[in-house]
Structure 1
Amino acid sequence: MTFDPDAVDVVAFDSYGTIVDVTTVEEPLADYVDDPAALASLWRERSLTYAMVGNAIDEYHAFFDLIEHALEYALAARGVDLSAEEKADLLQTYHDLDVFDDVHEGLDRLRAGGYDCYVVSNGNREMLDSLIDFADLGDRIERTFSADDVERFKPEPAIYRHAAAEIGAPVENVAFAAAGWWDVPGAVTAGMQGVWVNRQETRWGPYETEPDLTVSTFTELADELGV
């Protein structure tokens, strides 16, 4: 499907890696390891793997719990032994992640152009509440939808369809924007228009399901919607 801006009534966004920068965790990790980027990547990938395996075996735990388990795994895999307090400090970083520079301007333009904006995230409710507060999104985001709502993680279609139903918009009239290559196919499969926010200028796939639109920033998405 080709992106159809005229069909878009509302815009929904992923959170982690799309609105806020998960590589923020590299700074505190640098106090403990020589290669914080590698450990941060392993931590992130393991947490997503836990979520997808949970979907497959019908086992659900709040995403923050998966992040905690993934940190334990990543530290052990790298031979890093930290105290409970040090681990807690690292986990706290997920409540204070840096916001990408284009987010506020992009959301402001979309809202000024008449688009209500939402978040659809694997993050549990507490994580999303802290994200909205720390990222100063309270006046920019209408509502957040969590995997907790359906006890299924993205990219399963259930959470995207749940969000559209709660918003009260036909699923095909929702544009969903995410930086995760695995997230966009979930939205497309659910019936949304999938927008890949290619923040790191990487290649797509090869993967059978293609994004309907690729942008690098929220402001570029606003350009595509003519606002």
Structure 2
Amino acid sequence: MSSDNTPNILVFDVNETLLDINTLAPLFERVFDKQTVLREWFAQLVLYSQTMTLSGLYTSFSELGVGALRMVAYIHQVTLSDSDIAELKARMSSMPAHPDAVPALTRLRKAGFRLVTLTNSPSSASPTPLEKAALSHFFEHHFSVETVSKFKPAPETYQMVADALTVDTSDLCLVACHLWDNIGAQAAGCYSAFLTRPHNAMLPATNVPKPNFMAADLIALADQIIGKKSV
């Protein structure tokens, strides 16, 4: 831990935190006649990724994503085509960066923070989704949960990053727009920075830890983190 008690290593979630999953919306609008099914699909994907981990099982996030789409289609009594599946895969591999990502990452790197990513998605051949979004060069390392065959928020996922960087989890601060990810990171001993993008919010319930940092956009969140470091 640094002398000012602020972690120098920021661990970024990727999907929705850095990359905009709303680019998938046209697929859901076309197939289901309403974009809101995108959020239903994503919730099912997260739910069943965590269920697999709690059950001691593992299937890649990409494969679960396709399976979740088939499940939601069955629930809505919609017939999927092979081209629908191909479009989902193509869109998931080429999501654009949120507009606040580049300026925030630029500020953080200029301030001297070490930046890495940790994603539920499996590793992929170049060009990777982060390379396509022109964000990859900001990070010194990219971690995938496939290494431990467990999805976030399993403690092993955050510990994997700490072990690879030869630091303690208390030297890490997770930056994510999903509260469940922040809760898991804090339970594993990390600091957390919660990005309250649309469709994400605090959970007002007993024993839910409060993030160390919280803001509605990545630039404001970066400024908070930098400000704490300079104290």
Matched, 1:35 2:46: no
Match of 1:57 among 55, 64, 74: 55
Counterpart in 2 of 1:133? 131
RMSD of aligned alpha carbons: 2.0
Q: Contact conserved, 1:128 with 1:144, CA < 8 A, in 2? A: no
TM-score (norm 1): 0.91
Q: After the TM superposition, which residues 1-227 of structure 1 pair with which residues of structure 2 at under 5 Å, given as runs?
A: 6-37=5-36, 39-126=37-124, 130-200=128-198, 203-207=201-205, 208=207, 209-224=209-224, 225-226=226-227
CA distance, structure 2, for counterparts of residue 26 and residue 134 of structure 1: 19
- Which amino acid in structure 2 is aligned with residue 191 of structure 1? G
Residues 201/28 of structure 1: CA separation in 2 closer, same or farther (3 Å cut)? closer
Question: What is the deviation of 1:82?
Answer: 2.2
- How far did residue 9 of structure 1 move? 1.1
Residue 5 of structure 1 and its aligned partner are, at CA, apart by 6.6
- Relative distance call for 1:128 and 1:101 in structure 2 (3 A) is farther
In the alignment, is the contact (CA less than 8 A) between 2:23 and 2:96 conserved in 1?
Answer: yes
Match of 2:179, as an amino acid? W
Deviation at 1:171, TM superposition (A): 1.5
Structure 2 residue matching 1:177: 3-state secondary structure: strand
Q: 1:12·1:176 contact (CA, 8 Å) conserved in 2?
A: yes
- Paired amino acid for 2:16: G
Deviations 1:88-119 (A, max 9, x none): 11222101112111101111111111111111
Query: Partner letter of residue 107 of structure 1?
Result: L
5+ unaligned residues in a row in structure 1: which ranges?
Answer: none
Query: Between the two proteins, what is the percent identity of the paired residues?
Result: 23
Number of residues of Structure 1 aligned to a counterpart in Structure 2:
223
5+ residue gaps, structure 2, are none
| Residue 130 of structure 1, CA deviation | 2.1
User: Which moves more between the two structures, 129-138 or 66-75?
Assistant: 129-138
TM-score, with structure 2 as normaliser: 0.90
Alpha-carbon distance in 1 for matches of 2:32, 2:6: 48
